[in-house]
């Protein structure tokens, strides 16, 4: 798995501890625990959690792209978002679908 530096790139000087936790713990230690959950499954869970929480910005797009690179198909993403829509809310699903459609089209 490619080393993530988004935390340090965006917040390294302003919030170095948060940046370190983001890059080294969340995307380093947690995402690397492939025996417990595959990257594909983690991606599906993360996309669902972000959509359900209303995080409909670049973070969601990044994780949809990551899900695609981790093997989640367009059909699976559509099913995931459809299922989650009933729990998270229809408007959130619409926003997530727009992003997913762009990611999987390109």
Q: Any idea what the CATH number is for the domain that residue 44 is in?
A: 1.20.1290.10
Query: At CA 13, angle to CA 20 and CA 8, rounded to 5?
Result: 40
Sign for the pseudo-dihedral over CA of 53, 33, 9, 95: negative
Return mean pLDDT, the chain: 95
Q: What would the two tokens of residue 3 be?
A: 């080393």
pLDDT of residue 24: 94
> What does each of the 106 residues of the chain score in pLDDT, given as a tens digit?
578 888 999 998 999 999 999 999 999 999 899 999 999 999 999 999 999 999 999 999 999 999 999 999 999 999 999 999 999 999 999 999 999 999 999 8
Same domain, 25 and 71: no
Same domain, 5 and 50: no
SS3 14: coil
Residue ranges making up the domain that contains 19: 1-32
Structure confidence by residue, pLDDT tens digits, 41-70: 999 999 999 999 999 999 999 999 999 999
Same domain, 9 and 54: no
Same domain, 85 and 60: yes
Inter-residue contact 18 to 7 (CB < 8 Å): yes
pTM, full prediction: 0.90
């Amino acid at each position: 798995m490619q080393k993530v530096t988004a935390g340090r790139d965006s917040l390294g000087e302003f919030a170095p501890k948060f940046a370190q936790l983001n890059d080294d713990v969340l995307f380093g230690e947690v995402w690397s625990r492939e025996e417990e959950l595959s990257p594909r499954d983690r991606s599906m869970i993360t996309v669902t959690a972000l959509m359900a929480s209303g995080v409909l910005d670049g973070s969601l797009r990044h994780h949809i792209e990551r899900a695609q690179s981790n093997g989640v198909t367009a059909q699976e993403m559509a099913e995931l978002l459809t299922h989650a829509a009933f729990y998270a809310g229809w408007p959130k699903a619409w926003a997530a679908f727009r992003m997913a459609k762009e990611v999987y089209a390109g």
